[in-house]
Structure 1
Amino acid sequence: MSAEQETAADGFTYTLTRTLDVPVAAVWRAWTTADQYARWTGAAEGTVEMDVRPGGAWKATMVTPDGQQFPLTGSYIEVETDRRLVTGMDVPGRAEPATMVLDLAALDGGRTEATLSQTCDTAEERDMAEQGSTMLLDGLTAFLAGASED
């Protein structure tokens, strides 16, 4: 599995792009199926719930390498199967959810270009979100590499 990544930051927005050696449908399933999502994101067992449709809710409890747990909740804002997923994440003390966009594009040879982007309120928030999204893409890349070898 090869994965290329480009990063672009503009103000408080970041965009990460990876090329994955699997078809779009495999990337979509990994991102929108609770059991697969839990396996590559580091979520606590049994905590991922997904109602993948506009207005549907999601939740997961993420576990850090040192064992700390962080419950996350949010909603799906836009869902275009195998193409685009816009999720909102509830942030304590913030009226509007933080919004992250995943765009998928099919490439020649059964590969997929996955692009994650987010606009944040501050440079610090952007840097933290970009670090988290890079970790997500790293986990996704490793998961899909293992799945394609099965």
Structure 2
Amino acid sequence: MSNQSEANNRTVTLKRTFNAPIKLVWEAWTHSEHIAQWWGPKGMNTKVIEHDFRVGGKWKYAMQMPDGNEFISDGVYLEIVKFEKICSSANFKPMTEGVEIQALFEENGDKTNFTFNVVHPTEEYCEQQTKMGIMNGWGSVFDRLGEFLEEK
């Protein structure tokens, strides 16, 4: 089995086309004041604790759960190509740890084609996360991102 097909078996991919220019979509991902407006499933408020947007920089967000507890997500930026790609390690404690997230941006006129990959360390872990509803969770997040972009 090739490395690419093996990686595909460990990856969950979501695709969207946002009705916003790539510059705006990029800013939504790279400015902490914007991230706080859309990161997390519907109904959750997000507080940006740390956001050092550079390769090697750390990010850490806290999402307020309906029961009052905080859900922490954090990671380290691994690769940044302006208007093209943001790759990061990521932990979403306590549900998901040790994954890589890849946000890929492609200009499509005045819209933006967006691909989001969550790369898991093993195929089994990827399958477990899929069964837990990873697609629904991230789908809700990107619904919020789409709404945020429409308001801008």
In the superposition, the TM-score normalised over structure 1's length comes to: 0.78
Q: How many residues align?
A: 134
Q: Aligned-pair distance for 1:43?
A: 4.0
1:43 and 1:60 in contact (8 A); partners too: no
Is 1:136 the counterpart of 2:141? The answer is: yes
1:12 and 1:126 in contact (8 A); partners too: no
For residues 14-65 of structure 1, what are the alpha-carbon distances to aligned partners after superposition, in whole Å with 9 as ceiling and x for unaligned? Answer: 21111111111100111111111001124434x3421111100000001234
Alignment of structure 1 residues 1-150 onto 2, 5 Å: 11-41=9-39, 42-45=44-47, 47-90=48-91, 97-108=98-109, 110-120=110-120, 121=122, 122=125, 123-127=127-131, 128-147=133-152
Percent of counterpart pairs with the same letter? Answer: 27
Structure 2 unaligned runs (5+)?
Answer: 1-7
Question: 1:66 & 1:80 partners in 2: Cα distance?
Answer: 38
Which AA in structure 1 matches 2:140? M
For residues 85-121 of structure 1, what are the alpha-carbon distances to aligned partners after superposition, in whole Å with 9 as ceiling and x for unaligned? Answer: 001113669xx8310100000002x110010011223
Structure 1 unaligned runs (5+)?
Answer: 1-9
Cα separation, partners in 2 of 1:91 and 1:19, compared to 1, 3 Å: closer
Report SS of the residue matched to 2:83.
coil
Which AA in structure 2 matches 1:146? E
Question: 1:69 & 1:39 partners in 2: Cα distance?
Answer: 16
Which residue number corresponds to residue 5 of structure 1? none
Let me know the Cα RMSD of the aligned residues: 2.2
Which residue number corresponds to residue 3 of structure 2? none
Higher RCO, 1 or 2 (CA under 8 Å, sep at least 6)?
2
Which residue number corresponds to residue 5 of structure 2? none
